[in-house]
Structure 1
């Protein structure tokens, strides 16, 4: 059986139409996946910014507490909250929080230790 040109044209047109529909379906699926990935990334970014803001506020509070602890230590000078140390090794927010609280406790313990008292000179 021989096909006519019209039949062959209809067959090729049907194949091209089906391929076009399949391609559009795949593009819609890809666009949805990309949209979901962008939405998830945006959410993670917002959560990270919120976590950063909370940590910054907490660390400023810890710095203020540290300055109150050493207020009577006139020899110790401070010029305000120090800038972040970019060369510090990476840490999670909870690790950073724990280390900052431990440092504040160590400062409290150090300041609370009795001072070395030298004997007074006799006149």
Structure 2
């Protein structure tokens, strides 16, 4: 069975067409998967930004509360909310919340603890 050039050409173009269709189908599937990954990434980013904003708001609130606790301590000078410490170790938002609350509780305990009277002598 001898194949003519025209038959061989039709066979090859049919194979190329089928391969092209298969490749386009595969690319559409990959594009869909990538689109889903981008959407998930954007959602995670938005959730992270919301968590960050909530944490910043909470820290500012605790800072104001701390300033009220130390208001009567005239020797203790304070400015506004300090800048973030970039050298601090990485922590999850929950770990950060716990650390800030523990620091606030420690400050409140230290300030409100009864003090020994200094500068008074017994007679």
TM-score (norm 2): 0.95
Partner of 2:23: 23
Q: How far apart, in 1, do the equivalents of 2:44 and 2:63 lie? A: 28
- Aligned-residue RMSD, C-alpha: 1.5
Determine if the alignment matches structure 1 residue 57 to structure 2 residue 85: no
Q: 1:120 offset after TM fit, Å?
A: 2.9
Alignment of 1:112-123 (within 5 A): 112-118=112-118, 120-121=120-121
Partner of 1:76: 76
Structure 2 unpaired stretches of 5+: none
How many residues of Structure 1 are paired with residues of Structure 2 in the alignment?
A: 123
Q: 1:122 offset after TM fit, Å?
A: 7.8
Q: 1:41 to 1:11 in 2, by over 3 A?
A: same
TM-score (norm 1): 0.95
Structure 1 unpaired stretches of 5+: none
Q: How far apart, in 2, do the equivalents of 1:52 and 1:62 lie? A: 15
Give runs of ≥4 in structure 1 deviating > 2 Å.
118-123
